[in-house]
Amino acid sequence: MRLKVELSKSQKIFLVAILLSIGVGGVTAATTIGINNEIPLNLGAGYSSSATCDESIDIASTRVGTTVLNYRYGQFLLTNVNGLNCGTQIMRLAVVDKNNVIQQASWVIPSSATNYTYIFGTTNLGQISGTNFFATVSLASIDLSDLSKFAVSIGKI
């Protein structure tokens, strides 16, 4: 069975922005990383990028579920984002499952020395609570075995 995904205009623009950031101002990671030591992802050209303002963003996740049979990614957390160098820019996170369904969130990075945790999850949408900066859209949880790839980009507004 073949699944065809229709992208909205904003999703197409976001995808083009990610591809352009790789060639214009980004650094592409070519490594294997694990999210919470669960399932390693092989990231190569076009899968993950970071802007020249910050090359060391940490990504973690929170697992939800009661048994191995129903564990899912419930939220993704991005930390160690350099607010002084990247402030007033937009950080985007795109998460893709094995069926190529894209979920995306974005944040305008405050110009601050505060080390915020940027959270793409299901609660506190659009809020800043202490040093937690929640996305304005909700993540539909993803089965651990279904996560395919993700990309992070930071670019000018």
Residue 136 has pLDDT above 60, yes or no: yes
**Distance separating alpha carbons of residues 41 and 96, to the nearest angstrom:** 12
Residue 17 has pLDDT above 80, yes or no: no
134: amino acid identity, one letter: F
Handedness of CA 77, 92, 56, 115 (dihedral sign): negative
Domain residue limits, the chain: 9-155
pLDDT of 7 reads 59
Nearest one of 17, 29, 3 to 101, comparing CA atoms:
3
Specify the pTM: 0.68
**Distance separating alpha carbons of residues 83 and 116, to the nearest angstrom:** 8
- Confirm if 17 and 92 have CB atoms less than 8 A apart: yes
Place of tokens 């980009």: 153
> Quick one: average pLDDT of 111-132?
94
Place of tokens 């930071």: 154
> Quick one: average pLDDT of 48-57?
66
pLDDT in tens, 105-119: 999 999 988 899 999
